[in-house]
Amino acid sequence: MTTIISPKQFSPVEDAENIRKACQGWGTDEKAIISILGHRNLFQRKLVRLAFQEIYHQDLLQQLKCELSGNLERAISLWTLDPADRDAVLANETLQKSDPDYRVIIEIACIRSPEDLLAVKRAYKFRYKHSLEEDLASSTTADIRKLLVGVTSAYRYDGDEFDETVAQSEASTLHQEIHGKAFNNEEVIRILGTRSQAQLNATFNIYKDIYGHSITKGFPGGDYFSTLRTVIRCIRDPKKYFAKVLRSAINMEETNEDALSRVIVTRAEKDLKDIKELYLKRNNISVDEAAAREWSGDYKTFILALLGVDQN
């Protein structure tokens, strides 16, 4: 989504040198850093980071952490990381909190491709010397632990094929297990933690055909069912889910910069254009306008750069 410099104009050495210059003197030139990193794709950012290391014998991320602060530092640091490493950091950060935001874990487990999820778990183990599942199990209890460890441990089939007979059978099973008198999460976790996205969406569609409403309608209250609802929404329609996260982040009484940065940074090189279109359709205002209205300064400039808005 971000506007990328042409490969012919790109020089990782020149970028590394200009970032270094922006960090020297009495004050950091944040706008110069944004003008560079905010307009480089994943491959280009890797080369800039390598060039910076080779020239100055220092990790670019450490330099950025020293020179920047607050929401801007966090957003640019996440953007500069490789995607798998970024997700590992996001997962670990949320698990360290006294009140973890399990949406972060669910997004990684249920929206990333099977190969991407595997890469995240490798990056997590390399960084923290624990498995993601181990730390997740230590930070959760009871049914939420079973559900989150279940979906995080999955290595799903990633194709479009599905079995309609299985979908019909499991739609009935889900209804019985979720809304029956004796709630049983074992089958719910088995289905959500092993079936492919295509298979689960077929099940959710058949569920709606049979029972006349979406599977999440009428869920009881409580943390477990709130978590279960997020799992289903992430599997069923990730773009719609992310559009809702953005709306909540922007419209809260105290805007949620962590959620805004997470969505925009992680989706900018994937499906942010589609998410923006959904947001506009549902809210009658573009994400660009909403973000520009709520934030100011260098953080706003960087977020708008990732959104593809060039500020003159």
Annotated binding-site ranges for Ca(2+) = 25, 27, 67, 250, 292, 294
* C-alpha closest to that of 244 among 260, 266, 267: 260
Are the beta carbons of 265 and 229 closer than 8 angstroms?
no
- Cα 210 from chain centre: 32
Which residues contribute to the annotated binding site? 25, 27, 67, 250, 292, 294
Are the beta carbons of 301 and 264 closer than 8 angstroms?
no
* C-alpha closest to that of 140 among 63, 202, 223: 223
CB neighbourhood size of 262 (10 A): 25
Task: Please calculate the CA angle 196-247-212 and round it to the nearest 5 degrees.
Answer: 50
- The helix/strand/coil state of 221 is coil
